[in-house]
Amino acid sequence: MVPGKSLFDFPIHLGRGAKAVSEPEFTGFEWYEQYEKRHADDLDEGRIVALYRFEESWTSWEMHPAGDEVVACIQGYLTLHQELPDGTRHSHDLGPGEYAINPPGAWHTADADGPVVALFITAGKGTQNRPRQSGDNGAAGED
């Protein structure tokens, strides 16, 4: 019997032709550069599917310019903060089974004060990140 792979550690690339490709272990933001090289012919429509476990607020913002990202809370509670390309800011409180969508070009980060498991379906092409400053939650407007 072949053991399953952990979606926490080994994301899946969903690509053209309804292909699902197991990816190498996620190692941090530098992983995206190699991802783009592996799927250069498929990035415009490809998506990364991954689970992420965290217990405290993120220390950075990230942004995906090539497409929407679905953030679905599986366990726990999180607040997703967004800075949209037009300068609008929103925050979404998510609990188990709830989701929000980060539109293309939206910088986003998350807060949590307990264990959270979230599912991410991401257009990974051109992903960028930046450090998060203390008190920097982008939450001027609430959704």
* Separation between Cα atoms, residue 16 and residue 77, nearest integer Å: 33
Report the number of secondary-structure helices (H) and strands (E) in the chain.
1, 11
* Separation between Cα atoms, residue 140 and residue 2, nearest integer Å: 49
Predicted model pTM:
0.89
pLDDT for 47-93, tens place per residue? 999 999 999 999 999 999 999 999 999 999 999 999 999 999 999 99
pLDDT for 3-29, tens place per residue? 899 999 999 999 999 999 999 999 988
Region 82-108: what's the mean pLDDT?
97
Q: Which residues pair with 80 in a beta bridge?
A: 92, 110
Q: What pLDDT, on the 0 to 100 scale, is given for residue 2?
A: 85
Is the pLDDT at 141 greater than 50? The verdict is no
Check residue 18 and report its DSSP letter: G
Distances in Å between the Cα of 16 and the Cα atoms of 42, 44, 73 are 6, 9, 26
Is the pLDDT at 140 greater than 60? The verdict is no
Percent of the chain having pLDDT more than 70?
Answer: 94
Topology adopted by domain 12-131: Jelly Rolls (2.60.120)
* Separation between Cα atoms, residue 118 and residue 95, nearest integer Å: 10
Percent of the chain having pLDDT more than 90?
Answer: 79
Contacts of 51 (CB under 8 A, 6+ apart): 7, 8, 74, 117, 118, 119, 120
Is the pLDDT at 43 greater than 90? The verdict is no
